[in-house]
Amino acid sequence: MRFHFSPKTPLFALSSSSITSLCLRPFLPSAPKSPFYPSLACHASTGGNLRMDSTSPDPSSSSSVSVDSVADGLKNQSLREHDISNNNNMNNENKKNNGKLSLEDLNWDHSFVRELPGDPRSDSIPRQVFHACYTKVLPSAEVENPKLVAWSDSVADLLDLDPKEFERPDFPLKFSGASLLAGAVPYAQCYGGHQFGTWAGQLGDGRAITLGEIMNSKLERWELQLKGAGKTPYSRFADGLAVLRSSIREYLCSEAMHFLGIPTTRALCLVTTGKFVTRDMFYDGNPKDEPGAVVCRVSQSFLRFGSFQIHASRGGEDLGIVRSLADYAIRHHFPHIENMSKSESLSFSTGDNDQSVVDLTSNKYAAWTVEIAERTASLVARWQGVGFTHGVLNTDNMSILGLTIDYGPFGFLDAFDPSYTPNVTDLPGRRYCFANQPDIGLWNIAQFASTLMTANLISDQEANYAMERYGAKFMDDYQAILSQKVGLQKYNKQLVNKLLSNLAVDKVDYTNFFRALSNIKADPSIPGDELLVPLKAVLLDIGKERKEAWTSWVQSYIQELVASGISDEERKASMNSVNPKYVLRNYLCQSAIDAAEMGDFEEVRRLLKVMERPYDEQPRMEKYARLPPAWAYRPGVCMLSCSS
C-alpha cells in the first residue's frame, strides 16, 4: 500500500483502489463512486502557503470587564461569601471521606492559555484573530431560570466531582455560563478548516467556550467546555447559542459512543437556558423559536486538525505557532513521544524507489503525525463497525487525539445502505456518507500532514509514511472488527464481502442483524429450510431468490464456524460483546427531544440509561432496539442539517 505525497501528482495513489473500495464499494454497485481526492490544498514542498482574504483586526478596545478580572475575583472569593455556604461543610466532609470534590475545590490548570499565544483583545466582536490560538471571552448566553436536564455521574467521576454537586440550586446557573465557576479562565479557540473539501479560512469556537482544564487525582487533564454559551470573535454571523434539540443529540450521543467503547468527547451535563433561540432547521426560509440549551462537553483536549491549519495557512511568523502548538500537544497529550530515544529503533523503509527511510526517533513531529494517523484510522474503523456516520467530517471536526468530536447531523445505520448520509446538506454529493468515511479520514490526514510540512516539521517522506500507516491501520482494525462481529478468529474476505452485499441488497437492519447472527448454530446437519430461522426477525420481505442467496451464505458461514472449533455458547457471548443490541437511532433521539420540548425530560434520562449498557439484553427495554417506525422517515428525524 503506497502513497506519494507531491503537489505535482494526485494526492493519493492507494495501490489500484481507495480504502473504501477495499472494504465496501465493490459489493455495492449502486454506491457513489466519487472518493474525493482533490489536489493538495497547501503545497508545502514548494514553500507555498494557503491564501485567503481577511480583514485587519478591529482596533476597538477590549470589553470593559475582562475575563482575567472576573476569574481572579472568583478565585479569591471567600467560600463564606458563596450563595450555598450552608453546603460547604458537607462538601468538605465528602472530600475528606471519599476524595470527591465540590465545584469550589476542583483543581484547575490553564496550560493552554499559559503556554500559547493569545488574542490581546477579549471582546466577542466577530473578526479575524491573528497570531493567536485563543481569545479570552466570557459566557454571555441569556438565561431565565435555567434547569438541569441530564447529567453523567461517570463524567463527574473523571473530574473527582462529587455527584451531590448536581443537586446544588446554583448548578444550572454555573453550567449555563450565567455564573462563572470559581477558578475558570474561559476562552474560545481559534482554528480553521476544510469544509466539504474547500478551505474555509478562520472558523473557531463560534459558540463553545472552554472554562479551563481540571487536573484529577490521577493527574489526568480534562477540559470543560460550554457549548451554546454565547458569542465569541469566531461566531461570524451566528448568535453563539444552541437549541435543546441539538444539545440533547450531542449529550446523548457522546455518552452513547463512550459506552459503545468508541473514543469520544464526553458530556458532564445539559441545562436549559429558559430562553428561546430562533433557528431555520432546514435552511428553507421557515425559522422557528426553539428552547435554548447549553451542554458541558469534557475532553482531554479539543485541539483539532484545523487548530494547526489556520496558522499554517497564514504563513510568516504564524508558522512558529504551528510548532509551538505541536510542542504543546506532544508535551501534554503525547508525552511518550517526547521521551522516545534512538534505542527504540523506530525506523521504517517507505518502499520508494530510492529506498528512503523514515526514522521516527529522529523527528518527534513525524512520530506524532504517525500516531495521529493511526488513532484516526482506528476511530473510523470502529465507526464502520457499529454503523455510525458522523455526517460532517470537515478538518475542523477532526480531533488530534482520535476522538469522535462535534456531534451534528450524525446517524447510525438502520437499513444497511453504504451511501447513507444523515446530513441533508451533504445530499448532492454524499461526500460524508457511511462508505466514504475511511477515504475522508485519509484525505483529512493528508491536509494535516500538509500543514506540518508547511511549517517544516515533517518531510514529504514522513507525510507519505503517516498516510501509509493510516491505510494499514484502518484495514487491520476494520478486518479484526468484522471478524469479531461474525464470530470468527480469522478474517474471511469472501465470506464478509458476500455478507455485506446481501445486507445492502435487502436493506437489512445493520445493528439487529449482527445481534441475531449470534443465534446461528455450528451444526451442518440443520435442514436447509431451517437455516434462516434464527434470522427470521431481521430478514424481512425477501422473496424466494433472496432466500436462496441467504441460505447459501449461511451454509458457508456454518462451515467456517465448525472449522473454528469454538462452542456456540462461547461464540454467542463473544459476538454479543461487540455487536450492540442498542444504538442511538435518530428516531429514539427525536422521541426524547419531542418530550423535552414539552418540558418532560424523563425520556432523555431513560434513554441515557439504556445507552449506558448497549451490549446487555436489558429486559423490558426491548422497545429501544426496535426498527424505526414510519414517522421516523420524515425530514428532521433521519435527515438533519447542521442548523443547531
Nearest to 295 by CA among 428, 406, 193: 406
- Catalytic annotation, pick one of 205, 396, 414, 439: 396
State which amino acid sits at residue 418: P
Cell numbers given for 306 = 484545523
The torsion of the CA quartet 465, 470, 475, 477, rounded to 10 degrees, works out to: 120
58 carries an active-site annotation: no
Nearest to 222 by CA among 188, 266, 167: 266
- Tell me the C-alpha distance between 570 and 461, whole Å: 46
User: What is the DSSP track for 480-530?
Assistant: HHHHHHTT-SS--HHHHHHHHHHHHHTT-BHHHHHHHHTT--S-TTS-GGG
Cell numbers given for 21 = 473500495
- Tell me the C-alpha distance between 411 and 409, whole Å: 7
Which residues lie below 8 Å from residue 374, measured CB to CB, with a gap of 6+?
402, 469, 470, 473
User: What is the DSSP track for 220-277?
Assistant: -EEEEEEETB---TT-TTS-SB-BHHHHHHHHHHHHHHHHHT--B-EEEEEEEEEEEE
- Tell me the C-alpha distance between 206 and 213, whole Å: 20
Name the DSSP letter for residue 457. S
In terms of DSSP H, where are the helices of 49-110?
67-75, 88-98
Beta strands in 139-236 (DSSP E): 147-151, 187-189, 192-195, 198-202, 208-215, 221-227
Which residues lie below 8 Å from residue 327, measured CB to CB, with a gap of 6+?
none
- Cα–Cα separations (whole angstroms), residue 137 to 40, 229, 233, 234: 35, 10, 9, 11
- Tell me the C-alpha distance between 505 and 510, whole Å: 12
Asked if 225 and 210 count as a contact pair (C-beta separation under 8 A), the reply is yes
Which of the residues are catalytic? 396
